């Protein structure tokens, strides 16, 4: 049985068209998957860029902190002096005596009251008695507030001094602080 050349030609055209359509469909399918893969890769890249920017900001912050390390260490030391790890009553008394001397006032008496435990630190109530001139006592109060140990002045009672005016006597109720043993102030 012999095939007609025209039929053969039509069969070849049909096969060619079908193959062309199949190849075109495969190309569209592969192109679609490539586009999706590209979109996914772009999303991953954008996500990584956001993470990279955050990390770069963090690194810049840490670099800034490292440049301030010495200043931060000095501040840490200063704050440790403000609220020491031990009560250091003797150093407290010696320091207050020095403040009194700077202010030209007489430091007459110190009396420690019962301590009060707080979260992370202890309060050490103290009653201090001074005698001197009005301006000297004002200077003493200013010096106490800017002293290198945290000291809260709760009350000041002013009465006549031993030699009457211009001498006055001041009884200052204050609170010093220190960290509780084994705990650091937050």
Q: Which residue ranges make up each domain of the chain?
A: 1-67, 86-179
Peptide linkage before 166 cis (omega within 30 of 0): yes
Q: What is the DSSP string of 150-170?
A: -EEEEEEEEEE-TT-TTEEEE
Which two three-digit tokens encode residue 165? Answer: 């005016």
Q: Is the pTM of this model over 0.85?
A: no
Question: pLDDT tens digits for the chain (186 residues)?
Answer: 556 888 888 888 999 999 999 999 999 999 999 999 999 999 999 999 999 999 999 999 998 888 888 888 888 887 777 888 888 899 999 999 999 999 999 999 999 999 999 988 899 999 999 999 999 999 999 999 888 888 999 999 999 888 766 889 999 999 999 987 644 444
The CATH T-level fold of domain 86-179 is Alpha-Beta Plaits (3.30.70)
Q: What is the DSSP string of the chain?
A: ----HHHHHHHHHHHHHHHHHHHHHHHHHHHHHHHHHHHHHHHHHHHHHHHHHHHHHHHHHHHHHHHTHHHHHHHHHHHHHHS-SS--HHHHHHHHHHHHHHTT-EEEEEEE---EEETTEEEEEEEEEEEEEHHHHHHHHHHHHTSSS-EEEEEEEEEE-TT-TTEEEEEEEEEEEEEPTT----
Q: How far is CA 153 from the centre of its chain?
A: 28
Phi-psi map region of 40: left, alpha, beta (phi>0 left; psi -120 to 50 alpha): alpha
Task: Convert 95-114 to b/e letters by CB count within 10 Å (16 or more is b).
Answer: bbeebbeebebbbeeeeeee
């Amino acid at each position: 049985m012999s095939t007609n050349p025209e039929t053969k030609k039509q069969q070849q055209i049909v096969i060619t068209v079908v193959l062309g359509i199949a190849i075109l469909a495969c190309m569209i399918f592969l192109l679609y998957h490539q586009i999706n893969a590209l979109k996914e890769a772009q999303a991953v890249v954008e996500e990584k860029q956001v993470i990279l920017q955050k990390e770069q900001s963090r690194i810049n912050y840490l670099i800034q902190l490292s440049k301030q390390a010495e200043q931060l260490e000095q501040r840490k030391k200063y704050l440790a002096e403000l609220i020491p790890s031990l009560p250091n009553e003797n150093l407290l008394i010696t320091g207050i005596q020095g403040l009194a001397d700077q202010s030209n006032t007489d430091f007459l008496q110190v009396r420690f009251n019962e301590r009060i435990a707080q979260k992370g630190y202890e309060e050490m109530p103290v009653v201090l008695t001074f005698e001197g001139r009005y301006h000297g006592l004002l200077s003493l109060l200013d010096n106490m507030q800017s002293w290198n140990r945290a000291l809260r002045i709760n009350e000041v009672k002013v009465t006549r001094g031993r030699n009457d005016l211009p001498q006055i006597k001041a009884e200052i109720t204050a609170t010093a602080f220190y960290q509780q043993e084994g705990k650091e102030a937050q």
